[in-house]
Every structure is written in structure tokens, then in C-alpha cells.
Chains A and B, each alone.
Chain A
Amino acid sequence: GQNIDQPTEMTATEGAIVQINCTYQTSGFNGLFWYQQHAGEAPTFLSYNVLDGLEEKGRFSSFLSRSKGYSYLLLKELQMKDSASYLCALPGTGTASKLTFGTGTRLQVTL
């Protein structure tokens, strides 16, 4: 089976940096996704990590440590529009696209 743990809520200030952590347990690792979801909308893809290390994509970076079962999403230069839920997800080992989502972290960016 698969288990994912994320903080439920976080608050950060506009312009700041925030790190959203995700720890997971899985019987077979097939990469890890991060999605952003605004209220009432579908998730949008942010990143996919399959190898250890940090991958940077503009203001957003994602880190993975397979040995520790740990990932984080780093958001820099926070903007108000970054207020959303951030979902950590694991693809299945059988049908790869079958995703198991974490509970999501609701990020509130304040002035």
C-alpha cells in the first residue's frame, strides 16, 4: 500500500519562501508528483521527481530523498496567487498513472 503525510495548513507572507513537506511510504517507488489546486478547480501539474535531489523550475523547486521517503516543495517569492492547496501524490506501481494523493497542504499567503 501507499501512505502519504503532509501538513494540513501553512501560512506565509507575500515575498517570502515556504517549504511544504511530504513524507511517504510505498511498497514500490515510481516517482512522486506535486500538484497545485486552487479552490474549486482541478489540480495542475507542478513537478515530478524520480531521482534524488533538487529540481528547480522558476519560483518552484521540488526535492526528493528516496532513502528517507521524503520530498518537499519550495516556493520562492511568494505571491498572493500562490494561495492554494499543494498535493503530494504517488503513482501506482501497476498502472502508473493511477495516483494516490496526500491530504494536501492548504497554503495561505498573506500581505
Chain B
Amino acid sequence: GAVVSQHPSWVICKSGTSVKIECRSLDFQATTMFWYRQFPKQSLMLMATSNEGSKATYEQGVEKDKFLINHASLTLSTLTVTSAHPEDSSFYICSTEGAKSQETQYFGPGTRLLVL
């Protein structure tokens, strides 16, 4: 069964609103989670590393004030897209470090965001 869940699976919102995406690890505690973004017909691009109990680490070019990440517990990380614009429409995917080894990194099912 799935070990990482995301909610919502898809969301449509108006430009200027904020959207929160949740990523939960179901079977184990995840001190670190990763947030990726994927535009149509492109590959996944890492946005940020979410660390439980501390600030997230953002990749170059990703606005930390626009993409707020909170990792308040060992099973939940949230990504909030603030003041969303149509160019933020994308597929957002979280993943966790493997519980046992690098081979077992788990990806969430993804959240499709459409900003009108």
C-alpha cells in the first residue's frame, strides 16, 4: 500500500489565492521530505528540502516567501503556494527519504494545481 499520501490530489483556484498541499508519511517517521514540481512534458525539479523542526532549504530560483514549507511533525510536511498565479499551475510531488536505504525513497501521488 501507499506509504506517502498527498492532499488534495488536485485543486483549482483563482489567481491571488493561497493553496496548501499536505504530504504525509503513513508508515514511518520522516525527518526529511522533498518537494518537487513538474511542468507539463518536463521532468521533476526539486524545489526544496523540508526538515522536521527547522527551516526548509530551497533550491536556487525558488522563492521561499512564495512557497512556504512547514514540517511540524515527523509525518507531515505542508507546502503553501501563496498568491498563486497561472504560472504556478503544475504538478507538485513530495517524497521522503527511504526508511531503510536509498532504494526505498517514496513518492507521494502528486497534487495537480491549476490556477485560473
> Interface of A with B (CB < 8 Å)?
30-31, 40-45, 48, 85, 87, 91, 95-104, 106
Majority DSSP secondary structure for residues of A touching B: loop
* A40 in contact with B43 given A98-B49, A99-B105 (CB within 8 Å): no
A to B contact number (C-beta, < 8 Å): 55
Cα A31 to Cα B93 in complex, Å, equals 22
| Given pairs A42-B108, A85-B43, 16 additional interface contacts (CB within 8 A) | A30-B102, A40-B112, A42-B93, A43-B44, A43-B107, A48-B102, A48-B103, A95-B32, A97-B97, A98-B49, A99-B34, A99-B46, A99-B95, A101-B43, A104-B43, A106-B41
Q: How far is the CA of A85 from the CA of B110 in the complex (A)?
A: 16
B42 within 8 A of A: yes
Question: When the two chains form the complex, which single residue of A45, A98, A102 contacts B43, counting CB atoms closer than 8 Å?
Answer: A102
